[in-house]
Chain A
Amino acid sequence: QKEVEQNSGPLSVPEGAIASLNCTYSDRGSQSFFWYRQYSGKSPELIMFIYSNGDKEDGRFTAQLNKASQYVSLLIRDSQPSDSATYLCAVNWERDDKIIFGKGTRLHILP
């Protein structure tokens, strides 16, 4: 059974601080990992993806992947009120055409 787990939150972070979002997945043989941001009432938008173990940075966002621990995280530096949203983790497994999403973590940046 392939599952993606996230803490539902809400996670409250002061403006300007680092927000850390975590995601675990249940099955080995995973290939690709994605982070999406979803504002209330809107469709998800891709923030970044990561394929290899280690860190990947894009602006204020850093994705961290540890396949041995089946763990992927997203760090948001210098958090802004506009970062307040639900963050969805998604995983694509090898030889599989489907992408499974976690239930998302609600992030609230405190002004």
Chain B
Amino acid sequence: SQTIHQWPATLVQPVGSPLSLECTVEGTSNPNLYWYRQAAGRGLQLLFYSVGIGQISSEVPQNLSASRPQDRQFILSSKKLLLSDSGFYLCAGDRGNTIYFGEGSWLTVV
């Protein structure tokens, strides 16, 4: 079965610092992969999705970027974090016609 690993689970970063969140998928090949963000009290916002290695679609213009260097690896990055980047970041992958989530990463920008 498909398993999505995501790390780190929590982090506190100062404004202006860089960010790297990593996601890996086990149990499937060539999955569609997604990064969502959930701000406090708000819904899931789709940030990026990828249908294959090196293929990234951005949904929301912002200071974040994503990369997919390997089939089962999806990375979310920022060169300089803003306070508004705080939130719960979720990596997801598809299996069949549904998507399943990793455990999430809590980011607090201070």
Interface residues of A (CB under 8 A from B): 31-32, 34, 42-46, 49, 51, 88, 90, 92, 97-104
Residue contact A103 to B99, C-beta cutoff 8 Å: no
Residue contact B104 to A103, C-beta cutoff 8 Å: no
Q: Is there a chain A Cβ closer than 8 Å to B57's Cβ?
A: yes
Interface size on B, residues (CB 8 A): 20
Residue contact A103 to B42, C-beta cutoff 8 Å: yes
Q: Does more than half of chain B's interface fall in helix, strand or loop, or is it mixed?
A: strand
What are 28 residue pairs bridging A and B, where the CB atoms are less than 8 Å apart in the complex?
Answer: A31-B97, A32-B97, A34-B99, A42-B103, A42-B104, A43-B103, A43-B104, A44-B90, A45-B101, A46-B98, A46-B100, A49-B97, A49-B98, A51-B97, A88-B44, A92-B97, A97-B32, A97-B49, A97-B51, A98-B49, A99-B34, A99-B46, A99-B99, A101-B36, A101-B44, A103-B42, A103-B43, A104-B43
Closest Cβ of chain B to A23, distance in Å, is 12
How many pairs of A and B residues are in contact by the CB < 8 Å rule? Answer: 47
Interface residues of B (CB under 8 A from A): 32, 34, 36, 42-44, 46, 49, 51, 57, 59, 90, 97-104
Given contacts A34-B99, A43-B101, A97-B32, 9 further A-B pairs with CB under 8 A are A32-B97, A43-B90, A44-B44, A44-B90, A46-B98, A46-B100, A49-B97, A99-B99, A104-B43
Q: How far is the CA of A32 from the CA of B98 in the complex (A)?
A: 9
Residue contact A98 to B44, C-beta cutoff 8 Å: no
Residue contact B57 to A98, C-beta cutoff 8 Å: yes
